[in-house]
Structure 1
């Protein structure tokens, strides 16, 4: 473990510059999903309990280095105050006189929120001068924004090289979960990778076949792999120009001793709508005018049996068109089995990335997984085996 936590730092009387992810959905100035705010509560409360003064840095939206009033963080103050149970002050800029004045006037037991870091072009450019302006505000840097850790920005990477640094509670929990899943996992390991396109997950698949014992491929991606094996997939979503690549991945998996699990039976329909007339067929029997929209029950039985024989599960992406019934059946059934095994302590399950969280929530399984990552790009890049700048910088 090359990174330190809040427990390694003396925070008494110290200004703790804390990078958080509060890029939350809002409507009419009100937060509609507080998940990301809830995740930073332990870090903020622990800094306060250890005698530190939390000064929060965050981005919101994509203002591209310009001041965009609609992307101000100020409307988040009431939601943050309610979540933390302490007063939350606001600075109209993240650097310069407004920030310095707000920091110097911050009373003990209160939190300060700085304005959107992306209002300055130096943030995304990881500009040394801008990073130094941020660092000048505090004495310790704490990163609790794993979801932004794949970005080498001033508030995630540059500042970490200028101040004593550590991981916040959420960041530490995420890194611990990921290390348990791919770093030093309990074997056998199974990964589920779904989604529409092979082309967006090439690095991911290429890395996983060398790291896991079983790889379940679902969603539109599975259709591309079936097509690569000469199977007619009808009007299904598939990348026919990626079949050579799919065959390369199959060969690489065989060489690495990784079992690839593809659908052996399929659920097909002529139209993609809720309750559409459908039928279950062998994987090689898709009619020319039909679409494959889900994996069938035999495939689910195979997946669930594999889960039962494994110690660790990594999940990214649904097995079918989970957004509408009945094409959510395979995802729901497999998620329920993974959740059951996890709750019983038989399986360490880590899931994350895009539609994954939505799919597992819809299946009613998310709360029983060992760890659910709310990070999108950072989670995927970690699964791809890439170094995350915001993590690598947390050395001291």
Structure 2
């Protein structure tokens, strides 16, 4: 994919309108995790290093649904960004309008302004052309560095690109650099580890990766639908009956294509879905009646470890068990370690997988940990992401 980046456009004496993803968690007006702000700093600092360039930042926060809600104001984000940049950040009273346009036109080189939440207007999520044009009035060039929202055709992620010269920031550039080869011509052996609760939310990514990978690991709650499709007993484990035929079809395609499929060979189960439930080992594929599959067992992990150790490419999306409960976190913890140790190229995408590698402190040993949950999933599904397509036109 040919992508114009921020280094490919002239920023001298330009007002640079940047779409960032500063949708950070807030508690009583205080930011509890500033990871997303820090992730954008390389792009923002690069722009500020260019002669005479100023920054105008736009992002959404929460889901105010087109209404101005003080709880979703970006004022605390502007303060934190100022601390990280070591300079004052001007907090605009709105994201469009005459007053904001006046502030934008008065910016000098090195100045930074944060626009108010773009989702205070319905025109943002509807990708209203008029709203996009109003945003575009504020800058001379447009940079999108919000991969987490690139799968949404919104005014600030797609619409603005039709009004200004547009380029990708370093975050989006990195996401495309790591994800594109997995879908185009990945080095083999290529292991895809897909977990999560439901087949219905992951079937598209399974079907997309199946023709490209050599080994497909299916874990998490959705694995029990596949085991049931094979005729195994799954007790009270999660089951999507409407997807049994889909599961059989995918397994048949894998067999015909010569793709190894790793499903759970043993389990950690419990009598109820609860953090305080007592874990029990099941040394076989079938799960007894009255028991719920909560994690994979040591036999399953041994197979995954062997596959990952020999891989030239690994992509992981979705946990292998209920890793939020400590008693059922071992499978996901072990797999995170295998991916971290893999000598090949390793990519982790999807909110829960990213949360897992962060929880277990493996993130810095993985080649790429994606900043976008839904966006990374849709990228792996082979979908065109509107926010990225707009940068290639």
CA distance in 1, matches of 2:69, 2:275: 40
* Residue equivalent to 2:206: 205
Shift of the alpha carbon at 1:275? 6.3
CA distance in 2, matches of 1:173, 1:96: 34
* Residue equivalent to 1:97: 98
Contact 1:181/1:350 (8 A) holds in 2: no
Q: TM-score, normalised by structure 2?
A: 0.96
* Residue equivalent to 2:371: 374
Contact 1:86/1:109 (8 A) holds in 2: no
CA RMSD in angstroms, aligned pairs only: 1.5
CA distance in 2, matches of 1:40, 1:273: 38
Shift of the alpha carbon at 1:274? 4.5
Shift of the alpha carbon at 1:232? 0.6
CA distance in 1, matches of 2:30, 2:161: 32
Contact 2:271/2:291 (8 A) holds in 1: yes
Which of 171-180 and 297-306 deviates more? 171-180
Contact 1:321/1:328 (8 A) holds in 2: yes
* Distance of aligned partners of 1:102 and 1:215 in 2 relative to their CA distance in 1, 3 Å threshold: same
CA distance in 2, matches of 1:354, 1:367: 16
Residues 1:347 and 2:344 aligned together: yes
* Residue equivalent to 2:385: 388
Shift of the alpha carbon at 1:9? 1.0
CA distance in 2, matches of 1:99, 1:275: 53
Contact 1:214/1:261 (8 A) holds in 2: yes
* Residue equivalent to 1:334: 335
Give secondary structure in 2 for the equivalent of 1:220.
Answer: coil
Give secondary structure in 1 for the equivalent of 2:174.
Answer: helix
Runs of 4+ in 1 over 6 A off after TM superposition: none
Give secondary structure in 2 for the equivalent of 1:93.
Answer: coil
Contact 1:17/1:139 (8 A) holds in 2: yes
Contact 2:19/2:156 (8 A) holds in 1: yes
Q: Equivalent residues in 2 for 1:297-312 (5 A)?
A: 297-312=298-313
Residues 1:149 and 2:150 aligned together: yes
Contact 2:3/2:391 (8 A) holds in 1: yes
Q: Unaligned regions of 5+ residues in structure 1, if any?
A: none
Question: What whole-Å deviation, never above 9, does each CA across 1:243-284 have from its counterpart, x for those lacking one?
Answer: 111101111222333221101111222234446433322443
Shift of the alpha carbon at 1:198? 0.5
Contact 2:149/2:387 (8 A) holds in 1: yes
* Residue equivalent to 2:160: 159
* Residue equivalent to 1:35: 35
Question: What whole-Å deviation, never above 9, does each CA across 1:43-98 have from its counterpart, x for those lacking one?
Answer: 11000001221110111111222222221112211101011122210111111212
Contact 2:267/2:296 (8 A) holds in 1: yes
Contact 2:78/2:89 (8 A) holds in 1: yes
Give secondary structure in 2 for the equivalent of 1:225.
Answer: helix
CA distance in 1, matches of 2:169, 2:103: 23
Contact 1:181/1:348 (8 A) holds in 2: no
Q: Unaligned regions of 5+ residues in structure 2, if any?
A: none
Contact 1:336/1:364 (8 A) holds in 2: no
* Residue equivalent to 1:258: 259
Q: Equivalent residues in 2 for 1:8-23 (5 A)?
A: 8-23=8-23
Give secondary structure in 1 for the equivalent of 2:339.
Answer: helix
* Residue equivalent to 1:86: 87
Shift of the alpha carbon at 1:148? 0.6
Give secondary structure in 1 for the equivalent of 2:325.
Answer: coil
Q: TM-score, normalised by structure 1?
A: 0.95
Give secondary structure in 2 for the equivalent of 1:109.
Answer: coil
Give secondary structure in 2 for the equivalent of 1:185.
Answer: coil
Give secondary structure in 1 for the equivalent of 2:392.
Answer: coil
Give secondary structure in 1 for the equivalent of 2:391.
Answer: coil
